Amino acid sequence: MSSLLKIAGGRVIDPLNGVDREPFDLWIKGGRVIEAPTDPDLRPDRTIDARGFVVMPGGVDIHCHVAGAKVDASRLLRPEERRLESGRARAAQHDFQGGTHGSCPSASITGQLYAGMGYTSVNDAAIAPAGAFLAHEELAETPLVDRSLLTLAGNHRYLLEALASGEHGLIEPFVRWLVRRTGSMGIKVVNPGGIESWKQGRGRITHLDDPVPEFGVSPRLILESLCKAAQAIGLPHAMHLHSLNLGLPGNSASTLETLKALSGLHVHLAHVQFHSYGGDPNDPGSLKADVTQLVDYLNSNPNVSVDVGQVLFGPTTIMTADGATAQYLAGLTGKKLLADHVELETGCGVMPIEYKDKNLVHAVQWATGLEWFLRVDNPWQVALSTDHPNGAAFTAYPELMALLADSNYRNECLALLPEAVRERSCLRELTRNYSLSELAIITRAAPAQMLGLSHKGHLGVGADGDVTIYQPSNDFRKMFAMPRWVVKSGLVIVDDTEIRNLAVGVTHRCNVQELEKEALEPIRRWWDENATTDWRSADIGSPMRDRLKPVNLRGQGGEK
C-alpha cells in the first residue's frame, strides 16, 4: 500500500488548471495527485503543514546538457573546476552525497542540485545518436528527477544523402528510426548542414539557401523536411531548433527568415537569446539586442515556442554540437577547445568561458535574454532556461527568477553594467514584473506542455505527485534557491530544506513503433555501407528501451 500524503493549507499555484488558491489541500497517493478523500476520518500517513507557504508543481527544465559524451568531455577538459570544488561543496547549502561539482557536475550531484531547488524533471536537449546508450546510462544515475533526451538529426549524412537524391519519402521513416533507436522524446537540429560543412573543413553556412558542400542541399530543405516529419509522426515535442549563425552579430535576420520558412509548423526555438542580435557580423564587438521583430513574430504565432538561454555572469562551460561556433568562439577568446566529430551524425565543441559584467558583449547578451522574457505576451510560449551550462549553470535559475520578478533588483544589476548597454538594449524601459503564477508557467507548466509530458507541470487529479513548497520572501533568489519541501512521485525528497534520500526517477521516451522491415532495410543497407560500427550498435537495444517510460505520440491520447 502506497502512503497517503496531504499538503495542507498552502497557497497552491497551478496555472494549467487555473488555480491560485489559499488555503488549498493537495492529496497524493500512488505517486499521483488524487481527489480529496470524502471520508472525514481518513488520516494521511503524513501531513505537510503548508500554511503560509507557496505550493507549485515540480520544476521542468526543457533545455539543458547534463548527460552524454559532451558533458564527460567537459569534465576531462576542465580539471581546474575539480580544484575549486571542495570550496564549493563547503559553500553548498545542502549536505550533498558523493560526486563532483563545477559547471558540469557529476550525475549524482546534478540530480541533487536540481531537486534541492525544486526541479523534478530535466530534458537533455542534444544527444548524438551514437552516444544515446551512454547518455541513458548516465541519466539513470541522475537521482531525484525524471529525465528525457532529444537526439541530434540535422547533419546526419543519411538525411543529407536522401534529400540530395530527392528521396523525400525516406525522411519520415528515418526520423522514426532515429527517435526509437535512441530512446528519445524527439529531435534536435543544430546548425542544419553547417556542422557537416565544418566537419569537411569548409566555411560557415550563414544563409538558409547556401548549399551544404558535397550534398548541395540547403538548410531550408533540411529544416522543412525534419519539421514536417516530426509533426506528421506526432512526436510529443516539436522539432527543437538551434539554427544558423548562433552568437553572431546581425543573426536576428536569419532567425526571422528561419521562422518564416517554417511558417504554420510547430517548432521550438532553443536558447533564442543567442539568435537575437543586431550589429555587424564581421565585428564581434558591435553586438546589440535585436529582439523586436522576433518577439512580434512569436506573439502572433502560437505554434512557435522558445526557451531563452539566458546568460548570467560568472564562469561556466560552452558545450555544443555546433563545433563551428565553438571553434569561432575559441578563436575570439583564446580559450582551450575540445572539438570533435561524431561519425556520420554530428559534431561537438567544448570550451570554458567566463561571462563578465564589465564586458559589453556579455552585458548585451544578459540584457537580450531579459528583453525576451519581458516582451513575450504569452508566457505559455516561453520556457526559462540558461542553456545549462552554456549561458550559466542551472543553479543560477533562482537568480534569473529574481531578475524577472523584481524590476528594482533588475535595475540595480543593470546599473552596474557598462553604460553602452543602455543604448544597445531597451531593457531599462521594461517595467514588467513576473507574477508567481507567470513564473510557475515558464518554469513548469509551459515546458511540460511543450515536451508533451501531460502528467507534469500541473497539480490536477492524475498529475505526477511532483510538488515544490516555497517559503515566500521578497528576496526571490533566496525563495527559489531553497524550497522547504520537495515531493517527487509522492515521496518527500527534500524535507525541511534537507535532501533526505536519493530516490531514482524514470526516463521518458517517445513511444514510436519499430519500422516495418521494408522501411528499415534502406537505412540498414546504408549503415552497412557507410558506418565503421556494427549495425547492432546503432540501437540502444530492447533491454534498455524497456527500462524507459513510453510517452504516446500526439493524437494517441497523451502520456501513457
With b meaning 16 or more CB within 10 Å and e meaning fewer, what string describes 379-399?
A: bbbbbbbbbbbbbbbbbbbbb
With 0-12 / 13-18 / 19 or more C-beta atoms within 10 angstroms meaning exposed / middle / buried, residue 258 is buried
Looking at 117-125, 254-262, 360-368, 533-541, which segment touches Zn ion (CB under 5 A)? Answer: 117-125
Least gap, CB of 480 to Zn ion (angstroms)? 22
Between 125 and 370, name the residue whose CB sits nearer to Zn ion: 125
Contacts of 30 (CB under 8 A, 6+ apart): 2, 490
Least gap, CB of 486 to Zn ion (angstroms)? 25
Of 370-389, binders to Zn ion (CB under 5 A) are: 387
Least gap, CB of 188 to Zn ion (angstroms)? 8
Which residue of this chain has its Cβ atom nearest to Zn ion in the complex?
387
Backbone angles phi, psi at 182, to 5 degrees: -100, -5
Looking at 123-131, 298-306, 322-330, 453-461, which segment touches Zn ion (CB under 5 A)? Answer: 123-131
Least gap, CB of 64 to Zn ion (angstroms)? 7
CB 167, CB 181: distance < 8 Å: no
Of 227-256, binders to Zn ion (CB under 5 A) are: none
Looking at 19-27, 119-127, 211-219, 402-410, which segment touches Zn ion (CB under 5 A)? Answer: 119-127
Least gap, CB of 296 to Zn ion (angstroms)? 25
> Could you count the other beta carbons within 10 Å of the beta carbon of residue 420?
12
Least gap, CB of 320 to Zn ion (angstroms)? 7
With 0-12 / 13-18 / 19 or more C-beta atoms within 10 angstroms meaning exposed / middle / buried, residue 167 is exposed
Site string for Zn ion, 147-176 (x = CB under 5 A): ------------------------------
Between 309 and 315, name the residue whose CB sits nearer to Zn ion: 309
Least gap, CB of 28 to Zn ion (angstroms)? 33
CB 383, CB 307: distance < 8 Å: yes
Between 61 and 387, name the residue whose CB sits nearer to Zn ion: 387
Between 243 and 468, name the residue whose CB sits nearer to Zn ion: 243
Between 54 and 62, name the residue whose CB sits nearer to Zn ion: 62
Contacts of 148 (CB under 8 A, 6+ apart): 121, 122, 123, 124, 184, 185, 451, 453, 507, 508, 509
Q: Which one, of 74, 77, 69, 176, lies nearest residue 132 by Cα?
A: 69
3-class secondary structure per residue, 186-210: EEEEECCCHHHHHHCCCCCCCCCCC
The amino acid present at 426, given as its one-letter code, is: C
Between 68 and 236, name the residue whose CB sits nearer to Zn ion: 68
Q: Which one, of 69, 53, 192, 177, lies nearest residue 118 by Cα?
A: 53
Between 14 and 387, name the residue whose CB sits nearer to Zn ion: 387
Rule CB under 5 A: say whether 61 interacts with Zn ion. Answer: no
Q: Point out which residues bind Zn ion (CB under 5 A).
A: 125, 387
